[in-house]
Structure 1
Amino acid sequence: MHQLWVSLSVTPLLWLVVTLGAYLIGVALRRAAGDTPLVNPVLVAIALVGGLLLVTGTPYATYFSGAKFIHFLLGPATVALAIPLADNIHHVRRSLVEMGAALLVGCLVSMLSGIGFVLLLGGPAQVALSMAPKAVTTPIAMAVASEIGGLPALTAVLAILGGIIAAVLGESLLRATGVRD
């Protein structure tokens, strides 16, 4: 049995299937919990895959050799986010100044608070730079971190955690503040 696992664990297809399966388990758990944002399929998948890697002693590099196809698809998925934006361009044009101001302030607060927090706690500059692009999509955050001297892997974790936190808390916070649209 051990020999079978050793052979399977280095097969890239195994880790692709494990990743997709873990995500589908997360989706099923969320549905079973009444579609509450507290049960996040991405977080469930991370916990399941991470636990499996720990239990089996599989190195991350071996896992990533199979999951890199999903990593590759993050780029096209990010580009696909432009489709709803293009479909609603008339709304964007109508509120361009307000949206631009909100985006500028939000970006500055996000970047400066992350950098400031790390530096205030005495963290190294490389970690501070890794915090700067944390509030954008993962592939963009990793590319920016690489360009400015941050750690792309750390930035990826921060971007994913930020997305999960926003997904879990965002709807409740918007509802509590009276935002409906």
Structure 2
Amino acid sequence: MIYLIATILIYIVSKRIYKHYPKAYLTPLLVVPVVLVAALVVLDIPFQNYEKGTSAISYFLGPATVAFAIPIYKHFELIKKFMVEILSSIVAGSVVAVLSSFFLGYLIHLSGNFMTSIMPRSITTPIAMEVSKTIGGVPALTAAFVVATGIIGSIVGPHVIKVFSLKSPVARGVSFGVAAHGAGTSKAFEFGDQEGTFSSLSMIIAAGVTLVWGNTWIPHFQHLFIQ
């Protein structure tokens, strides 16, 4: 229980700091893991003990995704208006995310397990881990890639939006949701409620699309290149 309380307190403190000083390097998604890892090392606490004490957080990670349905319901009429653009962008983005991960791993000669673990990195953690299991990856490793992708996406995303002068809430939201899942969605809400809504929807649909890919053509595609 003490590990759970400590984790929640560290998150609350880091979130308040980020609210007053919204710098990329102060985002809770980056600060909390760093602080926790440092604490485990300094205090010589076995990770197994920490994992057991904070299992409730992992348990609620999946159900928490359902909360994204609230803004989607709120802006449902606007979503219907741009449904074709949203769906086509999500499907294209999901394919690019998987293929870019594969070819990057192929170019730098990643081993089979690393390759399959990195491919679902652009979707929310619970589903990414399931896809990883399906295609023979290491779920724990996939989770690490997902977190890294989310952090990088939330940091780089605003600069990409600025460079390309993206004004549309649809374009901004879908970009964050497809490229950086939960972390990107959190960042999208900083731009506006509509951006966050489109990002939430994109993240959820992208996860479903990638789950389908993971059970259909990804294993065959993987078999052609990985020995």
Q: TM-score range by the shorter chain?
A: 0.7 to 0.9
Report the equivalent of 1:20. Answer: 8
Which residue does the alignment assign to 1:39?
26
- SS of 2:54's equivalent in the other structure is helix
Query: In 2, distance between residues paired with 1:31 and 1:101?
Result: 34
Q: Whose radius of gyration is greater, 1 or 2? A: 1
SS at match of 1:38: helix
Count of aligned pairs:
168
Cα RMSD of the aligned pairs, angstroms, is 1.6
Task: Give the one of 110, 129, 153 matched to 1:123.
Answer: 110
Q: Which whole-Å CA distance do the structure 1 matches of 2:120 and 2:20 have between them?
A: 34
Unaligned runs of 5+ in 2: 170-227
* SS in structure 2 at match of 1:58: coil
Deviation at 1:36, TM superposition (A): 2.7
Superposed structure 1 runs of 4+ greater than 6 Å apart:
none
Q: Secondary structure at the match of 1:142?
A: helix
Contact 2:25 2:31 in 1 (8 A): no
CA–CA separation in structure 1 for the residues paired with 2:35 and 2:25: 16
Q: Which amino acid aligns with 2:27?
A: N
Q: What's the offset of the Cα at 1:171?
A: 2.5
Scaled by the length of structure 2, the TM-score of the pair is 0.69
Answer yes or no: is the 8 Å Cα contact 1:25–1:45 preserved in 2: no
CA contact (8 A) 1:119 1:125 kept: no
Is 2:63 the counterpart of 1:86? no
The CA deviation at 1:38 is 3.4
Q: CA deviation at 1:154?
A: 0.8
CA positional deviation for 1:110 = 0.7
- How far the C-alpha of 1:155 sits from its partner, in A, is 0.8
Give the structure 2 partner of residue 8 of structure 1. none
When normalised by structure 1's length, the TM-score is 0.85
Aligned-residue offset at 1:87: 2.4
SS across alignment from 1:150:
coil
Is the counterpart of residue 75 in structure 1 residue 58 in structure 2? Answer: no
Equivalence for 1:153: 140
Structure 2 distance, partners of 1:36, 1:162, is 18
The equivalent of 1:6 in structure 2 is none
Separation in structure 1 between the aligned mates of residue 66 and residue 16 of structure 2, nearest angstrom: 27
Equivalence map 1:53-72=2 (5 Å): 53-72=40-59
Higher relative contact order (CA 8 A, sep 6+): 2
Q: Which amino acid aligns with 2:42?
A: V
Q: Secondary structure at the match of 1:136?
A: coil
Q: Do the aligned residues in 2 keep the contact of 1:26 with 1:42 (CA within 8 Å)?
A: no
**In 2: Cα distance, 1:58 partner to 1:155 partner:** 24
Output the CA distance in 1 between the equivalents of 2:109 and 2:23: 37
Q: 2:92 aligns with which of 95, 105, 124?
A: 105
Is contact 1:40–1:168 with CA below 8 Å preserved after alignment? Answer: no
**Pairwise CA distance, 1:32:** 4.1
The answer to whether 1:29 aligns with 2:17 is yes
Q: Report the more deviating stretch, 166-175 or 146-155.
A: 166-175
After TM superposition, give the deviation of residue 138 of structure 1 in Å: 0.9
Partners of 1:60 and 1:173 in 2: how far apart?
Answer: 37
In the alignment, is the contact (CA less than 8 A) between 1:142 and 1:155 conserved in 2?
A: yes
Q: Tell me how far 1:83 sits from its aligned partner.
A: 2.4
2:197 paired residue number = none
Inter-CA distance 38–174: structure 2 relative to 1 (3 Å threshold): farther
